[in-house]
Amino acid sequence: MDAFLAHLAVERGSSPNTLRSYGTDLDRYVAHLQDRGIDDLGAVRESDVGDFVVALRSGEAPLAASSAARALAAVRGLHRFATRDGLVPVDVARSVAPPALPKRLPKSLSVDDVEQLLAGCVGDGPTALRDRALLELLYSTGARISEAIGLDLDDLDPGSRTVLLRGKGGKQRIVPVGRPALAAVDAYLVRARPGFATKGRGTPALLLNARGARLSRQSAWHVLRAAADAAGLDPSVVSPHTLRHCFATHLLAGGADVRVVQELLGHASVTTTQIYTHVTVDALREVYATAHPRARG
């Protein structure tokens, strides 16, 4: 396990969050094997791996299908790693299928709702200026929250109106930034960040907390929820990826090519991006149903 996690960190560039999640999932797997009297990876059979997935989905605290699928991904990665390193002769987890995931369309807000959300950050105080900069960046670039809080000062290029984002697996991409976001960031840099920075240790992070350290993911998520509450939006439609979903959906609705949106989002496959086309088609169908005289015939 330790060698596998080290491999993910060093050679695959996995994020600390991924490593923690995989570590937790593998601890569950080891406990499952120990309950069966198995303490050697070479003694594991395909049925043991399959039963592990079943156990995750049942019992006193069953996991959601997505969580069980993630745990299986960690287990399959471990067995694949052990096979390639010659620690075991056969990859017994290779053929174990993950549980079927429900097809859920990403929740998105209308343009008016996003404007209302962004307007929820009011005031000229340092915290309000920082929060406005964060939300404007998230919507303008389609960045994940982890990518936004990972930004350093040098990653933003106001001259070319672009920002360098570091995505999953250490992959980098350059994304345009809109003028409203640049204006919000500039106001934060001039009137808020210097005060935060005096309390810290000279971090290059763009977004700082009140102690002068890099803003955490949890704090950024709290900023989004607080802005949604202030805007009177339904909490069920707000998630850490809300503004990223809005970014993609609004681009496609405005006529952007799905391949361009794929590059902007940093998706490895266009298949991942195409889920947003379903959201757009649903919106078109709704307009058609209410506007065409024969739509309901």
Of the CA atoms within 13 Å of residue 174, those in its CB half-sphere come to 8
Q: Is 278 a catalytic residue?
A: no
- The one catalytic residue among 22, 139, 188, 276: 276
pLDDT at residue 120, rounded to an integer: 78
Average pLDDT over residues 165-177: 89
**Are 41 and 156 contained in the same domain?**
no
Answer yes or no: is pLDDT of 280 > 80: no
For residues 77 and 133, membership in a common domain is answered with: no
Min mean pLDDT across 19-23, 162-166, 216-220, 280-284 is at 280-284
Q: What is the pLDDT of residue 297?
A: 53
HSE-up of residue 163 (Cα within 13 Å, Cβ side): 27
Whether residue 51 is found in the same domain as residue 140? no
Percent of the chain with pLDDT over 90: 67
166 and 68 in one domain? no
Q: Tell me if 265 is assigned to some domain.
A: no
Split at pLDDT 50, 70, 90, the class of 215 is: very high
Q: What is the pLDDT of residue 296?
A: 64
Check 32, 76, 144, 166 and give the catalytic one. 144
Phi, psi for 32 (deg, rounded to 5): -60, -45
Please tell me whether residue 139 adopts helix, strand or coil conformation: helix
Q: How far apart are CA 115 and CA 48, in angstroms?
A: 51
Domain span at residue 41 reads 2-84
Residue 153 has pLDDT above 60, yes or no: yes
In a domain, 245, yes or no: no
Last-in-domain residue among 210, 238, 266: 238
Residues facing 165 on adjacent strands:
173
Give alpha helix (H) positions in 36-174: 46-57, 65-84, 111-118, 126-141, 145-149
List 107, 161, 168, 217, catalytic entry: 168
Give the number of domains in the chain.
Answer: 2
For the segment 247-265, the average pLDDT, to the nearest whole number, is: 91
pLDDT tens by residue, 24-58: 999 999 999 999 999 999 999 999 999 999 999 98
* 22 flagged as catalytic: no
130, 241, 245, 250: which one is catalytic? Answer: 241
Please tell me whether residues 130 and 223 are part of one structural domain. Answer: yes
Do 167 and 222 have their domain in common? yes
Task: Give the whole-angstrom CA distance, residue 40 versus residue 294.
Answer: 67
Rounded CA gap, 224 and 107, in Å? Answer: 15
> What mean pLDDT is reported for the chain?
90
Residue 270: inside a domain, yes or no?
no
The candidate with the shortest Cα–Cα distance to 104, out of 279, 285, 280, is 279
- Asked if residue 263 is part of any domain, the answer here is no
Say if residue 119 is in the same domain as residue 48.
no
Report if residue 75 sits inside a domain: yes
Question: Which residue has 């088609």 as its token pair?
Answer: 281
Local confidence band at 284 (pLDDT 50, 70, 90 cut-offs): confident
Position 189 in a domain: yes
Task: Let me know: does 79 contact 92? Beta carbons within 8 Å.
Answer: yes
CA distance readout (Å), 62 to 52, 56, 66, 67: 12, 6, 11, 10
Q: Which residue has the higher pLDDT, 285 or 213?
A: 213
Between 290 and 98, the more confident residue is 98
The tens digit of pLDDT for each residue in 70-94 reads: 999 999 999 999 999 999 999 999 9
Checking if the pLDDT of 103 tops 90, the result is no
Is 94 contained in some domain?
no
C-beta separation of 121 from 135 below 8 A: yes
Claim to verify: residue 146 and residue 211 sit in the same structural domain: yes
Q: How many CB atoms lie within 10 A of CB 27?
A: 12
Round to whole Å and give the CA distance between 237 and 244.
13
Query: How do residues 176-214 score in pLDDT, each as one tens digit?
Result: 999 999 999 999 999 999 999 999 999 999 999 999 999
Q: Which of 70, 79, 130, 244 is catalytic?
A: 244
**Which SS3 state, helix, strand or coil, does residue 223 take?**
helix
Residues 176 and 138 in one domain: yes
* 102 belongs to a structural domain: no
pLDDT at 21 over 80: yes
Whether 126 and 217 share a structural domain: yes
Tell me if residue 288 is catalytic.
no
Query: Is the per-residue pLDDT at 147 higher than 80?
Result: yes
Q: Could you tell me the CATH number of the domain that includes residue 73? A: 1.10.150
Determine the 3-state secondary structure of 162 from DSSP: strand
Instruction: Provide the pairing of β-strand 162-166 with 172-176.
Output: antiparallel
146 or 108: whose pLDDT is higher? 146
The CATH number given to whatever domain includes residue 181 is 1.10.443.10
Three-state secondary-structure class, residue 34? helix
